[in-house]
Amino acid sequence: MKAFLVDCEQENGAQLYFAPTRGKAKAMAANEEGINITEVSSCQRKPEYDEYSPGPVPPSVLLKDGWWIECSGCGKQVWDDCDEDDPVFSGQSVWCSAACKERDEVREASRKADFAALEKRATEATLARFPGVSVYLVTERYHRPEPYVHFHVPGDTQGIGWEVGSGFVECAPIDRAAWDAYEDRRATERALDT
């Protein structure tokens, strides 16, 4: 695989791609940007990055070569020759300073704790509403106040989805019979309890 710097004149700017040919690199970039391959403005060979195939190139290498990278914590541009603190690297992440990395870690720990509490609350609500199901995933949905819970009922293949507090569930047509059987069992159990 060879390294190519492809520019589509889009929001992301020029990006490195590893591909066997220039045409494939252009196609990859166009696909990622959602444009036609004819709209790719340039595709330059960058043999100095071939050794990092299949990618990615380490951020420290890119900085030394004059690239800038967005700080993983605050979003500001990090350059190799910044007059401020030395950048901090961890895998593909870069922070503009050790203090920024620490603040980012505190935010991330808080976010994880908040999500764990939300996940617990959503799971409890699901099990209260749908006894006997098996919850396997809780997700937050963009601009939705309540989490979305994915769970299994006996006999389903793809799982059932429910936004906590809503009055309906979502299931694939293939799982409709399993869902109906679950609901029938629940109706029978409720009738026996009264």
Question: What does the pLDDT read at residue 83?
Answer: 59
Tell me the C-alpha to C-alpha distance, in Å, between residue 143 and each of 30, 139, 140, 146, 147.
Answer: 29, 12, 9, 9, 10
Over the chain (194 residues), what is each successive 10-residue block's mean pLDDT?
90 87 95 91 95 93 90 88 77 92 95 95 96 96 88 96 94 96 92 80
Question: What does the pLDDT read at residue 82?
Answer: 63
Question: What does the pLDDT read at residue 84?
Answer: 64
Question: What does the pLDDT read at residue 116?
Answer: 95
Q: Where are the beta strands (DSSP E) in 52-147?
A: 69-70, 77-78, 88-90, 93-95, 134-139
| Interatomic CA distance for residues 53 and 92, integer angstroms | 15
Question: What does the pLDDT read at residue 14?
Answer: 86
Question: What does the pLDDT read at residue 185?
Answer: 93
Domain boundaries, the chain: 1-57, 128-193
Least Cα distance to 165 among 120, 102, 121 occurs for 121
Question: What does the pLDDT read at residue 53?
Answer: 95
Question: What does the pLDDT read at residue 110?
Answer: 96
